[in-house]
Chain A
């Protein structure tokens, strides 16, 4: 299985998001939050987490719009040809 450039970028973004919302990064953020629990009226930790969740959702949305192999739809006739070649 070979991933397209778009899929590789998306994988990178998802991995980055998971790193940013997990230990040890989240522990560092938590240390900051202990001294600054509120930012612009919202919990700092909540803002941090939501930023990364939004990044993941937006990346997923862009992937759904842009990645070519994700636009492929099932076609009985085309599938039969692929199966024959395989």
Chain B
């Protein structure tokens, strides 16, 4: 049997072991399933946020993008540093509301802060619509990785189904706690895989990172400047990319659930700082890897696999298989968190809110588990249909949730925020995003998601200024400000 498959099997078994361990602490209620009863410590919260934030893109898409477009890829640094900052600046406000108001989802929060359940429903529908294809994207990544690691012995469909089955089991067994602990383990694996694996390839072929860059300079100088050889990284592309991803990612339910999951504010703060460090440091050698790919493996049809293919070619097979398991870690840690978030939302924001208002915690917990199964299967079906390019799915999904940001953030910062403004900004923002993505594509060179967010923000401000806020919005913002800024006032 292929050594890669054996290592992958062992890796999977160890993950299942961790999830089984977490399941032993399961309290069998929805709060524990959704937010681990706000019990996560710094180490686990840092890594579950970071590993969830960075998906299969980290291992595959990043070096693939550098391969094609060069140094302009590192605009991504903005969305590796600032999400950590936002996780603290915005996240602590939601964390406090989780403690004081009992929210465990953003739909609960937005429905309550604007005293309008319909807004909560709209947020739930939009979050579900854009998260499910994103879950499928992780399965697509897993399928490709499985194909590479088995040397083509096992096909894409098999890989997709097997790894989705594992993700479903991880969520089913342990809920947030299980997902977070396995994420932490996968986060460590992912960091070692990307940093050490990259360094070995560079060192083996060029002797040092400097020598690698010198070689790139001699053969492909356009990779070292903007807009790159294909002219992709224009100023508009640069701005769109970081704005959409930084803001959009913070609105995804698998990220927002983590606002509520920290044990304390201290834990949330240090997890935010360490996340910024983790997420930025993991890419230390990625630019070099992507660029030297043009020298070591020129004219690749699918540059997204340049890193795993170089690992298999230039490092011992056991090591390569271990490191490529890190790629699966990246896919799975995001996929299982998304699956978990979607099922938690269905239970709290649909079942409890609209179907059975007196549902007990245990009933909601059971519904969340069933939803895990249904959405898991749905995502496998979508993944097997191979919908479009991974990067297109990512841009569409991020753009879709980014338009929620003004209404979401306004409700914890700006006392003039009104329900009418929240609803109109979400609906008009989403419509704008769809029109500028599919009909009038990228006006003035800015991506559709950027336009969706910009229009949503303008609409939110204007409508807020001409309508009246509800008492609850003011009450919640006062509560937050009194808590965090009482001494400065």
In the complex with contacts A27-B235, A42-B210, A49-B485 CB distance below 8 A: no
B238 near A22 with CB under 8 A, answer: yes
Is B276 located at the chain interface by the 8 A CB criterion?
yes
Q: Which residues of A contact B74 (CB under 8 A)?
A: 45-46, 49-50
Q: What range describes how many residues of A lie at the interface?
A: 35 or more
Residues on A with beta carbons closer than 8 Å to the beta carbon of B80: 53
| Interface SS of chain A | helix
Q: Residue A66 at the B interface, CB < 8 A?
A: no
Min CB–CB distance B286 → chain A (angstroms): 10
The A-B contact count (CB < 8 A) is 130
* A72-B265 in contact (CB<8A): yes
Given the known A-B contacts A34-B225, A46-B71, A50-B77, are A57 and B276 also in contact in the complex, defined by CB atoms under 8 Å?
yes
Contacts of A34 in B (CB 8 A): 225
Contact B276 A46 (CB under 8 A): no
Contact B239 A45 (CB under 8 A): no
Q: Which of A61, A69, A86 contacts B487 (CB 8 A)?
A: A69
User: Which residues of A, 21-45, contact B by the 8 Å Cβ criterion?
Assistant: 21-24, 26-27, 30, 33-34, 37-38, 40-45
Nearest-CB residue, chain B, relative to A45? B71
- B96 within 8 A of partner (CB): yes
**B303 within 8 A of partner (CB):** no
Q: Which residues of A contact B214 (CB under 8 A)?
A: 38, 41
What are the residues of chain B within 8 A of A60 when measuring CB–CB? 81, 84-85, 272-273, 276
Tell me if A57 and B78 are in contact (CB < 8 A): no
Contact A85 B482 (CB under 8 A): yes
* Least Cβ–Cβ distance between A9 and chain B, in angstroms: 13
- Find chain A residues with CB under 8 A from B71 CB: 43, 45-46
Which B residues between 204 and 230 are near A, CB-CB below 8 angstroms?
A: 208-211, 213-214, 217, 221, 224-226
Of A21, A22, A33, A86, the residue contacting B224 (CB under 8 A) is A33
How distant is the Cα of A1 from the Cα of B489 in the complex, in angstroms? 7
Which residues of B approach A to under 8 Å, CB–CB? 71, 74-75, 77-78, 80-82, 84-85, 88, 96, 99-100, 208-211, 213-214, 217, 221, 224-226, 235, 238-239, 264-266, 269-270, 272-273, 276-277, 280, 287, 413, 475, 477-479, 481-489
- Can you list 13 A-B pairs with a CB-CB distance of less than 8 A? A17-B81, A23-B235, A30-B225, A34-B225, A37-B221, A41-B208, A45-B74, A50-B77, A56-B82, A56-B276, A64-B88, A79-B100, A83-B100
